[in-house]
Amino acid sequence: MKFHKEGYSTLAITILLIFILLALANYYNANAVVTWIIYIFSAFLFIVVVQFFRSPNKYFEEDHGVILCPADGKVVVIEETLETEYFNENRRQISIFMSPTNVHVNRSPISGIVTFFKYHKGKFLVAWHPKSSTENERTTIVVKNNSGVEVLFRQIAGALARRIVWYVKDNDVVKQGDEFGFIKFGSRVDVFIPLDSKVEVQIGDKVVGGKTILARF
C-alpha cells in the first residue's frame, strides 16, 4: 500500500490546517475538552485523506482474452446502448460507480494503442444520473488491441468528484492494468465493449480495478 501522488497537495494542505488548529488551540490556551476535540478532528481528517488517496500495490499478468475492470467500485449498469461519440453503433455498456471509500486509481482494461482521446468540460450531476455519461465533465479513451478490437472507457466526474486526471494521449501504447488516470473522491467509469463479448459480472457486483474480469472476447 502506498499514497498516490495525486494526493500530495491535498495531504500538504491537510497537515497545514491541522498545524494551524493546534497552534491556535495552544495560543488561546484552549481547555482540555476543546483540545481533545481538535485532536480527534485532526486525526479523523488525516485518516480520511489517506483513505481517499491510498494506492494498493498490484501485480498484473496480461491476458489478451479478457477485459479487466478499470476501477474499484460497484457495477450499476449493464446494457446494450448506442455509443455516439466514437463508434456510432450499439455496444455493451458496463458502468462502475466509485464511492468516496473506494480506491480512485483507474487502470487500462486491455493492452493496445490509444486510438482516440478527448476531454469534455461539463456539469457535475450525481454519478448515477442517467445523463451524467454525456453531460458531466469526462474523458473518453479508446484502446485498440493487437487483434483490432477496440474498447472505449470513460472517466466521469460527479457531484463530489470534480477533478479528473489522465495520463494518456492519442497514440500512446498502454498495458493492461497500468494506470491511465485518477478521479479524486470517486465517481464513475463507463466501459463500452463489443456486443459479442461474454460479460462476467452482474449488476450489484463489487469489483476491483485491474483484477476483476468484466468480460471475455
Enumerate the active-site residues: 187
- Bridge partners of 106, per DSSP, are 181
Residue located via cell numbers 481528517: 45
H-type alpha helices, the chain: 8-27, 32-52, 132-135
Round to whole Å and give the CA distance between 187 and 190: 10
Round to whole Å and give the CA distance between 143 and 151: 6
Give burial (CB, 10 Å; 0-12/13-18/19+) of 134. middle
Output the CA angle 150-80-196, nearest 5 degrees: 50
Q: Are 42 and 34 a contacting pair, CB within 8 Å?
A: no
Half-sphere exposure (CA, 13 Å, Cβ side) for 136? 28
